[in-house]
Amino acid sequence: MLTATNLTRKYGEHTALNQLNLTILPGEVFALLGQNGAGKTTTINCFLGFIEPTSGDAFINGKSVVGHATETKKDLAYIPETVMLYANLTGIENLSFFSSLAGFSYSKEQLGTFLSKAGLQQTAHEQRVGGYSKGMRQKVGIAIAIAKKAKVLLLDEPTSGLDPKASNEFSEILKELSQSGTAILMATHDIFRAKEVAGRIGIMKEGNLVSVIHAADITANELEKLYLQTV
């Protein structure tokens, strides 16, 4: 569902991403760990079509992002560290607007079902998003992905700033999405969540993917030690 082939991005003499090769299957959660500047966000931005690779290519559902950025976006949803929503609109209204941009039209009842499936309490559906916590905004982002019927979910530091309860709820929702066949690529600093949610974990350093580990083969403490030794 997601493929990077020798994906490289340079800025002058600086190599932000160096010949990344990666394949993520439907229903798989792949977590990227690494310090700031390691290449995690650059990888996601290449898949989003926000930046063009210097060489190599990124594919979503078999289609090259280069030259087909609009078409490939139909298959994906993106949740950044801070989900950008319209503060003066309610959760329902935001979901209706963003799903309509993707070509979908839903009844109010259907929109409420998507928000509930994403874990947003029903009492918040008709409240303005300006009063939402970060965790609640993240849930609206998940609901947008569900409404879009996204085959791919890209996440950039999704649990940053969330309290432990909200972070755990978010992890459970990601597991449910992966079980429904959604391919998930998550850039994070949260070693514990990476171990808990992902099937495979990659560690990046200076634009290189230096390690790929199966989460089932390592404990959280071992992963932390490996991470610290690597970076």
pLDDT tens-digit readout, 143-172: 999 999 999 999 998 888 888 888 888 889
Residue 45: closest CA among 183, 146, 155, 148: 155
How far is Cα 225 from Cα 220, in angstroms, rounded to an integer? 9
Which homologous superfamily is 1-75+151-231 in? P-loop containing nucleotide triphosphate hydrolases (3.40.50.300)
How far is Cα 172 from Cα 176, in angstroms, rounded to an integer? 6
How far is Cα 57 from Cα 54, in angstroms, rounded to an integer? 9
Find how far residue 217's CA is from the centre of its chain.
Answer: 23
Q: What is the predicted pLDDT for the residue at 33?
A: 96
- How many residues does this entry show for the chain? 231
Give the mean pLDDT per block of 10 residues along the chain (231 residues): 97 96 97 94 95 96 90 90 93 96 94 94 96 92 93 91 84 91 94 93 97 95 93 84
How far is Cα 76 from Cα 63, in angstroms, rounded to an integer? 12
Task: Dig out the tokens for 222 from the structure.
Answer: 């071992």
Q: What is the predicted pLDDT for the residue at 28?
A: 97
Domain boundaries, the chain: 1-75+151-231, 83-150
- Which pTM value belongs to this model? 0.92
CB environment 34-49: b (16+ within 10 A), e (fewer): beeebbbbbbbbbbbb
Residues 6+ apart with CB under 8 A from 115: 91, 92, 95, 122, 124, 125, 139, 140, 143
Q: What is the predicted pLDDT for the residue at 82?
A: 86
Q: What is the predicted pLDDT for the residue at 167?
A: 85
Cα dist from 57 to 47, 61, 77, 156, whole Å? 9, 13, 19, 20
Q: Is the dihedral of CA 123, 129, 134, 136 positive or negative?
A: positive
Strand, helix or coil for residue 207: coil
Burial group, residue 138, by CB count within 10 angstroms (0-12, 13-18, 19+)? buried
Q: What are phi and psi of 33, to 5 degrees?
A: -105, 155
